[in-house]
Structure formats: structure tokens, C-alpha cells
Chains A and B, each alone.
Chain A
Amino acid sequence: MPIFSCNFKLAGVEGHQEIKRPGLTKSIRRLARKTGCDELALISTGECIEVFAAGEKSAQFTADAAAFVHQITEITIKELQRSQQVLDGPETAQRFLFRAIGMEPAGTHRHDIQTFRKQFELAREAGSIGPVFSKLYQRGLWLAEKIRLESNLQKNAITPDSVVSELAKKIFGPLGAHQALIWTGPGACDKFVARLSESGIGKLLFTGSGSENKEISNEYAGQLVEPENLKAILPTIDLMLLFDESALQSLLAMKFADIMHKRRNAPMLLVTLFEWNGVAGRTDPFAKFYNVYTYNRDELENVIAANLKEHQKLTSLVQQLVEKEVDDFLAWSSSKEKYRFGNIIGKSEAMRGLMDLIARIAQTDISVLIDGESGTGKELIALSIHNHSRRVNNRFSAVNCGALPESLLESELFGFVKGAFTGAITNKKGLLEEANHGTIFLDEIGETSPATQVKLLRFLQEGEIKPVGSNETLKLDVRVLTATNRNLEKMVAEDKFRQDLYYRLNVIQMTIPPLRERKDDILPLINHFVQKYARQMHKTVFNADEAARQLLHDYNWPGNVRELENAIERAVALSTVSHITVADLPPNVTHPTDKPGKNNLARDISLKELEKQHIAALLKQHEWNYDLVTEILGIGRTTLWRKMKEYGLSN
């Protein structure tokens, strides 16, 4: 799936950072629908708003995006159309990654990483983020962390204003309690002013000959000092910027020694930003004063030159890292991998959510209870959690608790010592011990006996086990994943399953929906299985034909993925041409006995629930035509009303 983005440079546009937050997620969703993109993220940092998208690029895309940006920023569409610029794959990925690590591609401007993350999360909330940008975002986070850990980004003061701000921070620490005075002159001071106020300077004061004083001072909530008040205010100034030679002269005329005496030699930073023309000689007239740090323009330039060297080294390093990341990403997105998470295949909303959840929790040691119908692939999910965790190089063992008799299960799990029971002629390590530092997956956990449940609970809480017949406890570090296809909550209510163990296991619950509820996944699964079995059986079968696909899509799949896999295996084995035809499919698929829509019968639900679902379905089907529905149901109109009220059904 191709990715692309368009960005709107907003230089000189007022109020560009203001995005109306309420309803933003809704509008992102609307835009995603309108443009037909599979994924969409809106990132606004600094002077640029970017719309990242993945999917088929429509011709209308930029226009739609512009309309959207117009809607949330109130910048005129004309302005946007003029500044727009569409980027495709590699550049989009690169820009995205640079945003994620908080840098501009040119390396000059640093963005706020936090802002980026917040905005991305907002898009995620809106549901417009899928596997493609999730992947890119994760790589971005990883990259940012790598850069933070391995390099030193401090040497990025490469403009005079940033050097001044770094100097001030090095002298005063946080600038909140300090005052700066700016003697304006012919040189432009707005950059310095902006940088200082960004650094959180306590107060900005302005004086001097510059005509635009007043304007600047208003913009940055500064204060204009009249020359006659200057003397009184000077001892409270910690940072002085002089843009004019005459400022230096008047400062020297004011008896600088007195000023320093009045401020009890508290440190001062004095920066001169003009050509020295031999006033007071070329030597520093402040050198004799104690605790005054002076920098002139040349000295600032020297510092910048030194920093620039370091900076270039760093930027080229970052550039390389990002380029490699982009290459990897493009290779990944053009491969078949993108709908696969480990071995999980699926592009439905539910499966994407699951993959996202796996990505988020795999790194932790949290317990996960996987629940889903038989054949939905619970073990696959568990394996994928293991493969994405830090335990990947250690063992993953799967135990089916239902397959073993109760006493055997206990000795299998916890091990036994020699002589623990008849036939125990040697010590035997349990599966838990074998899986130390790895992951254990307990399938059909609902089948375990109360005694084993107690032992398991103890293991989960203390991380300790006691092999059968042993007096010594063993400390283990094992991640426990469990699965069940029974309703544990109900079992807890019936006292068949320990409540405390249930809560322990159920920290995160992953529910794998049955295949009939995620029809979107059927097609990728068919492709996958066809390829798998064709390879295995050395057959040249590529796909299923239209009619067969339709049948497979419509079938109810009570046996879920496992049934689908078996059906495909059979079909591949039987097929005589390069694609699967209807004739190759098993008879229960081609002639389903239960029609779609009646699949509720297969589920464990109460009579009331069934009634509610039936009424709701009928109402919906007949567009809330009560007469028709009462006739079908064979009940009176008031009865229908009462039941609707009872079940909370309304149009």
C-alpha cells in the first residue's frame, strides 16, 4: 500500500498553531472516509501542517486535505492551495520519521517530540491509524530513543540567539527569575527576543534608539524603559543585549562599577552585537569587573563555528539512521508482511486492534488471557506475543491443560523429585522450570482442577513453585499466557474456577472474534493458505476463482480459521486447474445447512438475549415498521413496545 503526504507551509500565517481541538477526531475520521485512504494522520508542528496518508491516492486528495485544514485552522483555502506540496513514499516516510525524532530534515529546527506524539495519538483515537503508520511510528519512537541514548544533542546552538540563550541558561539556570534588557539599534533583535521569551525569561525590557521598540515590546509583553529611569533599573538586569555602539558608551558613562556594586556582584551576561569601532579601544572594557561575562559578535561567531562542526557530524549520523529506517520501511510495506504480525494474518478492524494491542503489551510481563472460539488461533496469538517480547530468545512452551489428567498435569507443570510417588525414579523438571526466562502458554485453563489452580495462583503471585514431593521452592521468571474457550466469568460465578486466579490471569483480555464476525480477513487467509498448501503439495494453484471466493466469504465458519484451513487444504489437493473452483470446496461450504443470520443458535446465550437480538434484527431489517414486525412476530403492538422498552431498543 503506497503512502503519501501533503504539507502546507504556513510561514507568515497568523495563528497557525491553533487547532480547534473539539471534534478533531471526528473530522479526521470524516476526511479518511472522504479521501478513501486506509490510514490518515494529521501532524501540525511549527510552521507546517502535514497530512500523512496511506492507501490509494485519489486525485481529489490535496483538495480534500486543504479543505480539512481550512476547516480546523481557519486559514483561507487559497492560501493553502498555494503552499501545498505532495510527497510520495520515501519522502513521506522520511518526513514522518524526522518528525518522530523531533528534527527537521535539514537539521536546523528542533520540534517538540511531545506535540508530535500527542497528535499521533489523537489520530489513533480517531481510528484512522492502521498497521502502516503504527509500524512507522514505532520505528520512530525507537529511533528517537536510540538517538537520545547514543548521542549528544546539546550542541545545537548554531545561531547567535540560541548561543545567547544557552549562555544565559549556563549562568543563571532557569531564567524565570531573571530580567533582560535589550538596547535596540540598527541590528534586528526580534530573533533574540523570540528566543529569550521561548527560554522562559522572567521579564524583557527595552530601551535605545531603535524605532520599532514599542512594537516589539508590545508583542512580547515587554516593557519600555525611558532613558531617565535607566539608572534605577540597571542593577536589576542580569542579561543585557547591546545592538548599538552608543548604548555601550552610555552604559560606560553610567559608572558600571556602581551598578555592579549595587547588585552585589551577582553575575551578569553582557552581549554586544555590533561592529566595534574602537570606542574604548578594541579591548573589553568590562574585563576588569568581577562576575561579568561579556561576549561580542565575533566571539559568538567563534562559538557557532565550533558547534556547527559537531552539529554536522550529528546530523549526518541522524540522516543515515533515518535513511536506513526508510529503506527498511519501504521494503516492509511493499512486501506481503504488512498485514502480518508474526504469523497473524488479517486486515479486519478487530485483528488490527489485536495486533496493536500485542505490540503494546508484548514488551511487558503482564498476564494475558486469550479467549476465543475453537480454531481462532489462540496459540498463534500467544506465540506472537512471545516473539515480540524480550523473551524471544528463550523458550516458549505450550501446554494443553485439558489434554492431561489432573495429577499428571500437576507433575508436568511443576515437576517432581525422586521418590515423590511410585514410578518417580528420577528428578524431573516441570514445564514451568523448563520455560524459565521464557513464556508458558496454558491452553484450556478452565479445565484445571482446584488444587492445580491454587498452585498456579501461588506461582503467579510469588513467582515460586514447589515440585511435587519437594520441600524446596524454586524462584522462576516465566511469563504466563493463558487461553480458554469457556466462559471463565461464568465458571467463577459457579465456583468452578477460583476468582483470585481469574483476576490474576485476566489482567489483559484479548478476545479473538470468530471468523464469521471478521469477513474482511477471509480473503487474505485464503491467499495465505492456498500459497502454503500449493507449495507443500507442489501444485501450481494460485488463487480461488470468483464464485469459490464468494462461497467461502459467505459461509458461516463455525470451525473458524482451522476449518477454513482444512477446506483450503482439501480444495488445493483436489484442484486440477490453476485456481480453486466451487467443485473443489467441501460440501458443507457449498451447501450450508444453517443459513447466515441464524448463527446465534450456535452460541451460548440466554433466551432473553436471543429475543432481544431477534427483535432488534427484525426492526432494523424492516426499517422500524412496527406493523410489519408485530405481524411477523405474532405479538401485539403493545407487547412489542413493552419489550422494546425493556431491552432499550429505540430508533
Chain B
Amino acid sequence: MREFLTTLSWAVFLVYGVTLWHYISFFKNKTAAKATLSRRWVIISVAVHSLYLAVLTTRLGHIPVSDTFTLLTACAWFFVVVYLIIELRLKEVTMGVFFLPIILLLQVVSNLFINFDKTLSPVLLELFFEVHVAFMISAYAAFTISCIASIMYILLAREMQSKKLGIFFERLPSLQFIDNLSNHAVNIGLLLVMFGFALGYYMGLGVWEGTWAFDPKMIAVAVSLLIYIVHFVTRRSFGWQGHRAAIVSVVGFSWLLFSFIIVTTFFSKIHNFQ
């Protein structure tokens, strides 16, 4: 079972790799045939990943949100599903090439450190906890989308300012479209993260009492919340549209990744699922 799960986890990594390769080849030579092929590969990877998660769930006896590294792969799965929905709805395939490296990163970190038989603290079996995690993952998915869109915006805007129109001008959708996408994603993410945060806080009150307010992860999330609030406010009040908003969004997401991986690994006492 262990070996099988390990193999499967790397198989997931591999299919994402192949999918990314297809998206890159689509980006280099934008043809309808390649777009269909890329889309087929995303669907295949989601299927393989779902299988992996299903096996993992039966192994652990609960849904895999109980420690940092199982959570990472669950996140990756959820992100890809959200991405797939967006791709199908907006019929915009160019985003994949920016999106899949992040998924690959999440999956490889998860694969390297995952422990297939970790026991679980009874605190974490509560319904509240699962709802809390669901909110947080959805919020992260939204922020990821916004970050990708922002990177696209920065690349395209820079190319247009430089007045040498190249591959990004040819391949990417319009600035207004990317900007709207990023903006909507941040707004939705903000709403979700606020709910998740409040729920976690309420849950924490019941379990840990007092001391936990200085938990590094909580501080980290609070900081990223602040960054996204800055995004929200400056955009509305100071007209930080487009380029500047994109930079704020990228900063916010970098901080999120940092807090998610580094802080939980090295600092956290409470938020480490023990």
C-alpha cells in the first residue's frame, strides 16, 4: 500500500509534467488542435490525481486535509479543478502555462515530505475544522488565480510599453480581461479567507485558550489578509488599476506561499495538525 501510494504520488507529478509540456507547446504555437490536446491532458491529470486522493483517503481513514503535506496535494487538486472550470467557462487556454508550474511545485513538495500513516489529533475531526480548511483552500485557489492573472498582466503590459510586440501580445488575452479576472479572484478570495479566518479563530478559542493568538501561522495569514485588503482599498480609492494591482497581488501570493510552506514546517506549534 505504501509503495503503491508513493508510486501513485509520483505518477500524479508526472501527468502534471506532461500536461505542462502540452501547455507550453500550445503557447509556443497556438493552434486549436493543441488546445484540445492540452485540455484532454488536464482532464487526465485530474482523474489520476482524484484516484490518488481516493486511495489516500481510504488509507488515512479521513479526507486528506490533516497535515501540511497531504493538504498541499489536496490543494493542488482543488486548484486544478477550479482552473479547469475557469478554462472551460472563459475558453482561455493560455493561462495553463502559468498555472501548472505552481501545481507542480505543490505536488513535488507534498511528495517529498508526505507521511502516509500519520495519526490525527481528535480536535481535527470536528466538522468546524473541515469547513475551516475548505474555506481556506478555496481562498488560496482564488489567490492563486489572481496571482497567475497578475503575472500575465505584468508580462503583457511590459511588452506593450516596450513597443516591441512579441509572443505575449500575440498569445495573451486583453489587459482588461486579465485585470478583471485577477480583481474578481481577489475579491472572492478575500471574502472566503475572512470567513475561514473567523471560523478558525472561533474554533481555536474553544480548544487552545489564550496563548494561541501568537501562533506564527495565524500571524502569517493575517499579514496576507492585510496585503489583499491593501489591494482592495488602493484599487478603489487610489485608482491602482492594472499594473500596480498586479504587483500587490503577486506580493500577496508570494507571502502566502511563504507562510504556507515555511512557517508551518519550521515554526508552528498549534497549526501543525498534531
Show the binding face of A for B, using Cβ within 8 Å: 148-152, 154-155, 167, 169-173, 261, 264-267, 290-291, 293, 295, 299, 302-303, 306
Contacts and interface: CB of A to CB of B under 8 A. Distances in A.
B152 interface: no
B179 to A, nearest CB: 8
Nearest to A269: B160
Given A148-B32, A152-B29, A154-B170, A171 B244 contact: no
B240 interface: yes
The 4 lowest CB-CB distance pairs between A and B, nearest first, are A264-B239, A265-B239, A173-B174, A173-B176
A264 B241 contact: yes
A306 B165 contact: yes
Contacts of A290: 243-244
A303 B166 CA distance: 9
A171 B175 contact: yes
Interface residues of B, number: 24
B32 A149 contact: yes
Given A172-B174, A290-B243, A152 B30 contact: yes
B169 interface: yes
Contacts of A295: 163
Contacts of B30: 152
Nearest to B242: A291
15 contacts: A149-B32, A150-B31, A152-B29, A152-B30, A152-B31, A154-B170, A169-B174, A170-B169, A170-B174, A171-B175, A171-B176, A173-B175, A266-B239, A290-B244, A293-B161
Given A171-B176, A299-B163, A149 B33 contact: yes
B141 interface: no
Contacts of A170: 156, 160, 169, 174-175
A151 B34 CA distance: 12
A303 B169 CA distance: 11
A149 B31 contact: yes
A232 to B, nearest CB: 19
Interface in B115-171: 156, 160-161, 163-165, 169-170
Contact of A171 (B29, B31, B174, B239): B174
Contacts, number: 60
A540 to B, nearest CB: 53
B160 A167 contact: yes
Chain B CB within 10 Å, residue with most, of A266, A291, A302:
A291
B173 A303 contact: no
Contact of B239 (A149, A261, A293): A261
A371 B160 CA distance: 64
Contacts of A265: 239-242
Chain A CB within 10 Å, residue with most, of B29, B30, B164, B174:
B174
Interface in B5-61: 29-33
Contacts of A267: 175-176, 241-242
B163 A302 contact: yes
A266 B161 CA distance: 15
Given A150-B31, A170-B160, A299-B163, 17 more contacts: A171-B160, A171-B174, A172-B175, A173-B173, A173-B174, A173-B176, A261-B239, A264-B241, A265-B240, A265-B242, A266-B239, A267-B242, A291-B241, A291-B243, A293-B161, A295-B163, A303-B164
B202 interface: no
Nearest to B173: A173
Interface string B60-87: 0000000000000000000000000000
A149 B242 CA distance: 33
A299 B170 CA distance: 17
Contacts of B241: 264-267, 291
Nearest to A298: B163
A302 B174 CA distance: 21
A306 B177 CA distance: 26
A173 B180 CA distance: 11
B170 A152 contact: yes
Contacts of B31: 149-152
A399 B32 CA distance: 41
Contacts of A291: 241-243
Contacts of B243: 290-291
Contacts of A302: 163-164
Contact of B176 (A167, A172, A261, A264): A172
A287 B242 CA distance: 16
Contacts of B176: 171-173, 267
Interface in B81-130: none
B208 to A, nearest CB: 44
A344 B161 CA distance: 62
A169 B176 CA distance: 9
Contacts of A266: 239, 241
A155 B163 CA distance: 15
B191 to A, nearest CB: 23
Contacts of B244: 290
Contacts of A151: 31
Chain B CB within 10 Å, residue with most, of A150, A172, A173, A303:
A173
A262 B164 CA distance: 30
A169 B169 CA distance: 11
A264 B174 CA distance: 19
Nearest to A173: B174
Contacts of B174: 169-173
B33 A303 contact: no
Nearest to B236: A264
Nearest to B171: A154
A154 B172 CA distance: 12
Nearest to A151: B31
Given A170-B175, A173-B174, A303 B240 contact: no
Contact of B165 (A148, A172, A303): A303
A186 to B, nearest CB: 24
A302 to B, nearest CB: 7
